[in-house]
Amino acid sequence: MVVWYLRRGVLLALPLLVPLHVRAGEVDGVVANAARSWLVDWVRQKAWPDPRIDVVVLAQRRPAPQCGQSLQIVPIDVSQPAKLRFSARCPDGTAQTYTVRAAVHTKALAVSMAQPAGEPIGKGDLQLADVDLALMPDATLDPGEIAGRVSQRPLRAGQVVQVRFLKAAAGVRRGQLVEIVSRQQQFRISAQGTAMERGEGGALVRVRNGASGKLITARVMGPGVVEPAGAGAPAAGD
């Protein structure tokens, strides 16, 4: 297999040595194993659970290199996980480039309902959905990367959230009257309150519930809108 290591924050690989006189079909298999190994390490760094990895080595017009010693498989372009490029090299300089199509199937966070652009996304708006990480490497399983932020483009129900299209929502000021919103699946409950401190979009702030007088911790969801933080947080009207 390929041995990967970090050097100054860059993922590098030691070449894979292949036995002498491998046939063309065998080289394809070794390249596929090298690609699968790279993807396994890439997924492990991102801590994705139980991914299913599929790789296909595209057909070559030229014959595979035949080495008098040993063949090396070296990654030359792994910037796009869905389309990896490896080089099969002989010690005499003969080389062949292989392109590998890849898919990494797992679960990621998606919106449960259609979400207009610019509207803050709450934890209650999220659900798990199937995703190909090779095509969407900026998908996430961490609600904290999404909650309280807004999408720069509309999202349809069930669409996986891509972090690169999110931005911070507007914040609240200390002493500002705010709407405390609690979302539970298809239901939305709201109450009035007062922000006890300043906070940007996505930040946790203390809010006094206008009806009960209780202090709660809430996440800033947008201009003048907060959402009770944590699964055990009181409902908006408490």
Q: Domain of 118? A: 106-168
Summarised one tens digit per residue, pLDDT across range 186-214 is 677 889 999 999 888 888 999 999 999 99
What pTM did the predictor assign? Answer: 0.66
> Is the domain of 113 the same as that of 85?
no
Six token digits for residue 70:
């040993």
Return the number of other C-beta atoms located less than 10 Å from residue 117's C-beta.
11
> Is the domain of 56 the same as that of 70?
yes
Q: Is 236 a domain residue?
A: no
> Is the domain of 127 the same as that of 192?
no
Domains of the chain: total: 3
> Is the domain of 26 the same as that of 95?
yes
> Is the domain of 72 the same as that of 157?
no
> Is the domain of 13 the same as that of 41?
yes
User: What is the radius of gyration, based on Cα positions, of the chain?
Assistant: 25
Domain-terminating residue out of 83, 103, 123: 103
> Is the domain of 95 the same as that of 13?
yes
Summarised one tens digit per residue, pLDDT across range 16-64 is 544 444 554 578 888 999 999 999 999 998 889 889 999 999 988 887 7
